[in-house]
Amino acid sequence: MNRNRIIVGLAVLLAAVGVNAFAFHSGGVAECEGCHSMHEATSTDGNLLIAADASSTCINPSCHGDPSPGSYHVYSGGANQTTPPVQFTPGGDFGWLKIDFTWAMSGTNYSEPGYTRGHSVVAADAGLAADPRFAFGPGGTFDASVLGCQSCHDPHGKARQLYNGGAGGFGGTGSGEPIWASGSYGDAPKANTFGGTGHEGQGAPTGLAVGIYRLLWGPDSPDLPPGAAYTSYPVAVAPRTYNRTENLTQTRVAYGGAGTANSWGNWCGACHGDFNVASGSDEHHPTGETLGTGPVGAAVGSEATNYGAYVSSGRLNGAFAQSYNTLVPFAEATTSIATLALHAKNDDTFLSGPGTGAEVMCLSCHRAHASGFAEMLRFDYGYEFMTKGGDYPGSDNPTVGTTGRGPAQSRGRNIAMWRAAYYDRAAATNFGPYDRVLCNKCHAQD
């Protein structure tokens, strides 16, 4: 079959299933011909891919690289200096890698290259290349020149959460339990009531598994990427509709694993091991550290208390039950999918702050793919104010302007670009008039 017909047919299939488009993967391996071509492959890596490389296959315009907003799209191919990325997935939009911001101040030209804003996946068809700053992933030894979607996601989704006779657990291919649903949206493993032995006399599986969150790698996954020896399973649940504006309500992904071997720090630490330091160090912020419950306002030891009280700069009188902010998520002290599913909401019906044992994690500050801010942070910290005069510090904000220190505050962005980076939040209704950086959500030092 012609490769282009495969891609077009796949696009039609996904469009037809609408909100359930994620069913292409269904928690595990998808249709082989969606990514591979037996006789008309494009890649030269021996994998018979329908695009130049693995990431190009993932973010081609018919799959995760559709430039229209919504659903499973993670790359706005049309993003540029005047057109902000439009995807608001929790992991971010690789489109931010395509924008090089420039500005001039006091006769000196400055720039902020796109590759500073995310995981610089190599996708030749999309014009995405490795980050020229790093030969290896920061804090580790992973070869940055081969970083791709497949470095974090298993394209065949072999890791799974098991039923295991009702005892749960994790496993992979060879566990004897087929995957019946995605592991990203709260579906749980269950007993097999369908039979289906696969071979006469061999016996049916007793359990039906679900995939791992977002098809991420796990320790039992065969063919782990070289240089990324994953030793833990990522645990989280997302609402089924997650690529959306957060102007009126937030999209809460319930991250779990705090206090267990399956922490997000351990998972990210497969590539960034030097940063996975629970107690912190002279160079690194702690990750996997329990948020403290000391008196409100203390910089260290009161992180959970401050989180629950912090509303905006100067305001520490918020309600704990309404304190959650997707710009500063945390890991909950559970690996129960059923529990996390109760918290994964996009309608603001669960906004409770950090519970007992909750931890700071890598994703508390960073998005997994890319963001509108340096080092793929969830919020800007390049200027002391996130908002100024009731709006974002864009070049078209009259309190910022284009003279004096204004260019250093806007850094080549207008208000619309800043707003897109904050997932379409209107500054006047989502922040204070002069809000300082959101490190203060935990540390309350403003």
Share above pLDDT 70 across residues of the chain, in percent, rounded to a whole number:
95
Residue 42 — very low, low, confident or very high, per pLDDT cuts 50/70/90? very high
Per the structure, the complete domain to which residue 118 belongs is given by 3-152
139 lies in the same domain as 269: no
Give percent of the chain with pLDDT exceeding 90: 83
Q: What is the mean pLDDT of residues 305-330?
A: 98
Q: Is the pLDDT of residue 4 over 80?
A: no
pLDDT band, very low/low/confident/very high, at 196 (cuts 50, 70, 90): confident
Of 77-86, 286-295, 336-345, which range is least confident? 77-86
What's the chain's average pLDDT? 92
Q: Which of 98, 118, 152 is the last residue of a domain?
A: 152
Q: What is the predicted pLDDT for the residue at 419? A: 98
Please name the residues in contact with 383: beta carbons below 8 A apart, sequence gap of 6 or more: 393, 408, 409, 411
394 located within any domain: yes
**Banded pLDDT at 24 (limits 50, 70, 90):** confident
Average pLDDT over residues 80-86: 92
Higher-confidence residue: 205 or 201? 205
**DSSP 3-state assignment of 408?**
helix
Residue 294 pLDDT greater than 80, yes or no = yes
Rg (CA), the chain: 22
- 178-201 mean pLDDT: 90
**Is residue 188 in a domain?**
no
The predicted model gives 261-274 an average pLDDT of 95
Q: Is 302 a member of any domain?
A: yes
What stretches of 230-309 adopt beta strand conformation (E)? Answer: 236-237, 254-255
**Mean pLDDT value of segment 219-231:** 90
Interval 375-429: pLDDT, tens:
999 999 999 999 999 999 999 999 999 999 999 999 999 999 999 999 999 999 9
Q: Does the pLDDT at position 16 exceed 60?
A: no
Q: Cα angle at 75 between 74 and 78, to 5 degrees?
A: 150
- Mean pLDDT in residue range 252-274: 96
CA distance 12 to 7: 9
State the pLDDT at residue 405.
95
Q: How confident is the model at residue 222 (pLDDT cuts 50, 70, 90)?
A: confident
Q: What is the pLDDT of residue 23?
A: 66
Q: Same domain, yes or no, for 127 and 17?
A: yes
Task: Answer whether residue 95 is part of any domain.
Answer: yes
User: What's the mean pLDDT in 246-270?
Assistant: 97
User: Higher confidence at residue 78 or residue 83?
Assistant: 83
Choosing from 152, 178, 209, the residue where a domain stops is 152
Residue 78 belongs to some domain of the structure: yes
Element (H, E) at 6: helix 3-17
pLDDT of residue 204: 85
pLDDT at 20: 41
Residue 15 confidence (pLDDT) above 80:
no
pLDDT band, very low/low/confident/very high, at 331 (cuts 50, 70, 90): very high
What are the C-alpha distances in Å from 409 to residues 104, 362, 388, 394, 396? 11, 26, 10, 8, 11
Instruction: Give pLDDT, residue 186.
Output: 97
Domain count, the chain: 2
Higher pLDDT, 29 or 248: 248
Residue 200 has pLDDT above 90, yes or no: no
Categorize the per-residue pLDDT at 29 as very low, low, confident or very high, splitting at 50, 70 and 90: confident
Whether pLDDT at 7 is above 70? no
Q: Determine the pLDDT at residue 178.
A: 93
Q: Region of 25 please: left (phi>0), alpha (psi -120 to 50) or beta.
A: alpha
Question: Does residue 221 belong to any structural domain of this protein?
Answer: no
Tell me what the mean pLDDT of segment 292-303 comes to. 97
> Does residue 131 sit in the same domain as residue 245?
no
Final residue belonging to a domain, choices 120, 137, 152? 152
Residues 250, 133, single domain; the answer is no
Q: Give residue 290's Cα distance to chain centre.
A: 21
pLDDT tens track for 65-77: 988 898 899 999 8
User: Looking at the structure, do residues 148 and 239 belong to the same domain, yes or no?
Assistant: no
Residues 260 and 140 both lie in one domain: no
- What does pTM read for this prediction? 0.93
User: Is the predicted pLDDT of residue 19 greater than 90, yes or no?
Assistant: no
Answer whether residue 244 is part of any domain.
Answer: yes
- Mean pLDDT of all residues in 342-363: 98
> Are 131 and 246 in the same domain?
no
Distance CA(375)–CA(391), nearest Å, equals 23
Examine residue 185 and state whether it is found in any structural domain, yes or no: no
Residue 230's alpha-carbon distances to 54, 90, 185, 256, 417, in angstroms, are 20, 22, 22, 17, 36
